[in-house]
Structures are given as C-alpha cells and as structure tokens.
Structure 1
Amino acid sequence: MSAYADQRVLVVGGTSGVGLATAGEFDHVVVSAWETPMGRVDALPLADAYAAMDSKFWGAYRIPRSVRVRPPGR
C-alpha cells in the first residue's frame, strides 16, 4: 500500500493551476514542471535568466504560501 494512500497531495506543474485545487488542506505539495532555458551563460539572454528565476524560484516559493499544508506535511 502507498504511504500516501490516506493523504491529500497537490501536484502543481505544466498546464495545471493551483487555483483549481486550493480548497481545503493538503498533506504535501509537489511542484513538478517548469521550462528552463538552456544554453551557455554568456549566450543566454538576461530576460531568459530572469524568467527562469521567476518560475523556478518564485513559483516554488509562492505555491506553499498559497495553500494550507497540514503539519508535518512538506
């Protein structure tokens, strides 16, 4: 049996939105998918680097602040 069988897990990524599933509390939140620009740092446009930080860092930072996670959830 899965360790998560009786727990509520919110998986966010790709084309799904946290706004569709924020009712109630969750035991765990998983942030799974974002596109990250690839390439050499000296050739990567600065705007692409900012976009990657906005989605990777700030997205992962904001999601847990937007939903209620039950202790000792992660």
Structure 2
Amino acid sequence: MCYSIKTLFYEIGASPAIHELDQDPYGRDMERALRALGCDPSVPAVFIGGRFVGSSKDVISLHVDGSLKQMLKDAKAIWF
C-alpha cells in the first residue's frame, strides 16, 4: 500500500517527504511512535501539513470524496 499511496500523491502533483522505515536507522523508533499514535499497521502513516491524516484506507477515502486535493492545497503541497 505504501507504493500505491506514493503513486497517488505523485499523480496529484505533490512531492511528498517519504521516510522508508526499513531503510532508516531510526525506523524501529519511528514505527513504535506511529503505533503509539494508533497506526496499525504502522505504515503507510500519512501526514499533511504536519497533521496526521491516517493510513492508506483514510487517504483513499479522502481522495474518493474529493477532499484530499483541498487538504494538499491548504497545506501548500500543490498549487492547482
């Protein structure tokens, strides 16, 4: 699902900051912190404008109802 969410953001025109937990030396610590936030599974965990949005299911729901683009515009992650 991580690949699908990355692809969705790229297709919308955003350039997301991506942290690959399995390749980061602090990945295990980040995963524990995400689980403490209630992320289960812990990835993908999506933040927009510094605010936790949710998992892939949440992001897809936002995209389907049309609010994902507006969230990205409000966060100045896309400009159109």
Normalised by the length of structure 1, the TM-score is: 0.29
Higher-RCO chain (CA-CA 8 Å, sequence separation at least 6):
1
Name the larger-Rg structure: 1
| Structure having the larger proportion of residues in strand | 1
